[in-house]
Amino acid sequence: MTANKAKAPNGKLGVMIVGLGAVSTTFITGVMMARKGLAKPVGSMTQYDKIRVGRGEDKKYLHYKDIVPLADLNDIEFAAWDVYPANAYESAINCEVLKEKDIDPVKDELLKIKPMKAAFDKNYAKRLEGDNTMGDITRWEMVERLREDIRKFKEETGVERVVVLWAASTEVYVPVDEKIHATVESLEKAMKEDDREHIAPSMCYAYAALKEGAPFIMGAPNTTVDIPAMWELAEQTKMPIAGKDFKTGQTLVKSGFAPIIGTRCLGLSGWFSTNILGNRDGLVLDEPANFRTKEVSKLSTLESILVPENQPDLYGHGNDEDTQYYHKVRINYYPPRNDNKEGWDNIDIFGWMGYPMQIKINFLCRDSILAAPLCLDLVLLSDLAARAGRYGTQRFLSFFLKSPMHDYTQGEVPVNHLFQQYVMLKNAIREMGGYEADEEID
């Protein structure tokens, strides 16, 4: 659903984060340091990118904040839920992403962020041992407690609006079940019956957020907002949702590099991706059931950019079935690396007369350093979308996510091509600023 020019904010924005680990503490600390003028929010599109509005003599290149009424960094209040009781300062120090000298200037503010008890089910993240949880309660009780937490936070801080952001671990894979996940009614029924197999804790967070008038952002690959019941709920509550899973390292490279192969009409025989990482995310993903969730998300990127049906000569062979190139993704838990992830890509391509070539990409990235600006952009743009009266799935936010939302019940194919996603993003910003959406996606 698209709507008109966005209304200006007239109060503070509450950002409630599920998970107070490496990503969220890096995000929170960076925002606090940036508003003191002690650090720069590098990597954030909302803070740095300039886009064209108008044509011909009216053409101007402007920052987003000069086109649309974005919330100001000074107007953000943070809160979090986590299974571990450590406050934001302790957690930021423990995660060892940022140096102490880059955390200490905002120590007093970080100390005040103490995580609320998490709605948690150990079966969904077996490797996590924290005890700061709501305990063994039903799914519906989780929903009620979470809604209460959101209302209480609003009352205590006086924020005008809230956005809920999932920056917690990847849950075990939950296949979509039409009987449970198709409608709001069947979802609520399963929650009330405490159906723990089909209702993941993340669904309780999303349901509670939307019911309380808060956009919900899914930063992990969990089955949460990508079910028809949540789409229906977002329409009912007039709230925006997006896709899922922050597009940080390897998938960012893939969504930007695959278009080079496709645009240049080169062939692809195989693409092998492997990662080593050592933070809490790596620990959780070391569990096969959790990795399965991530694998589905990571594998989907390539298949919608380099499509065998469209170019059988270029992409129609490489695996056993001889119908498509071979695509494999691996994640390996390696504690010494902590948050400094390494992504290797081996790409087997072929050119003129079928002669083979190879491309190797070794991306030594920092997971949380890449994810933090995405958190900021997703929060600010989801809040903006809500104020513009845009609700339901916001496809323009695909730029920031590994798994763009799409209506698979209608056979819709997601847009994973980074530069097409960028056009969607720019057009949405133009519309919400009262300009014409004047770029085409070819």
User: Residue range 262-275: average pLDDT?
Assistant: 94
| Range in 222-231, 250-259, 367-376 the model is least confident about | 250-259
For domain 250-366, the CATH architecture is 2-Layer Sandwich (3.30)
Residue 250 has what pLDDT? 86
**HSE value, Cβ hemisphere, 13 Å, CA-based, for 48:** 10
The 10 Å CB-count burial string (b at 16+, else e) for 118-139 is bbbbeebbeebebebbbeeebb
Residue 299 has pLDDT above 90, yes or no: no
User: Residue range 139-150: average pLDDT?
Assistant: 98
* Residues of each domain in the chain carrying CATH 3.30.360.10: 250-366
pLDDT digits (tens, 9 = 90+) for 158-208: 999 999 999 999 899 999 999 999 999 999 999 999 999 999 999 999 999
pLDDT digits (tens, 9 = 90+) for 369-410: 999 999 999 999 999 999 999 999 999 999 999 988 888 888
Residue 1 has pLDDT above 60, yes or no: no
Give the span between the Cα atoms of 252 and 51, in whole angstroms: 20
The percent of residues in the chain predicted with pLDDT above 90, rounded, is: 78
Residue 318 has what pLDDT? 63
| Range in 221-225, 267-271, 326-330 the model is least confident about | 326-330
Give the residues across from 165 on adjacent strands: 17, 217
For all residues of the chain together, what is the average pLDDT?
A: 92
Residue 324 confidence class, pLDDT cut points 50, 70, 90: confident
Residue 278 has what pLDDT? 79
Residue 295 has what pLDDT? 66
DSSP for 81-147, please give it.
EESS---HHHHHHHHTSS-GGGTGGGHHHHHT--PEEB---GGGSTT-----B--S--HHHHHHHHH
* Contact (CB, 8 A) for 181 and 193: no
Q: What angle do CA 72, 78, 82 make, to 5 degrees?
A: 150
Residue 2 confidence class, pLDDT cut points 50, 70, 90: very low
* Contact (CB, 8 A) for 399 and 368: no
Give the span between the Cα atoms of 308 and 303, in whole angstroms: 8
pLDDT digits (tens, 9 = 90+) for 49-101: 999 999 999 999 999 999 999 999 999 999 999 999 999 999 999 999 999 99
3-state secondary structure of 409: helix
Residue 323 has what pLDDT? 74
DSSP for 31-74, please give it.
HHHHHTTSS--TT-HHHH-EEEES-GGG-EEEEGGGTS-PPPGG
CATH superfamily placement of domain 13-247+368-432? NAD(P)-binding Rossmann-like Domain (3.40.50.720)
Residue 293 confidence class, pLDDT cut points 50, 70, 90: low
Here the tokens at position 142 are 């989780």
pLDDT digits (tens, 9 = 90+) for 351-361: 999 999 999 99
pLDDT digits (tens, 9 = 90+) for 7-33: 999 999 999 999 999 999 999 999 999
* Residues of each domain in the chain carrying CATH 3.40.50.720: 13-247+368-432
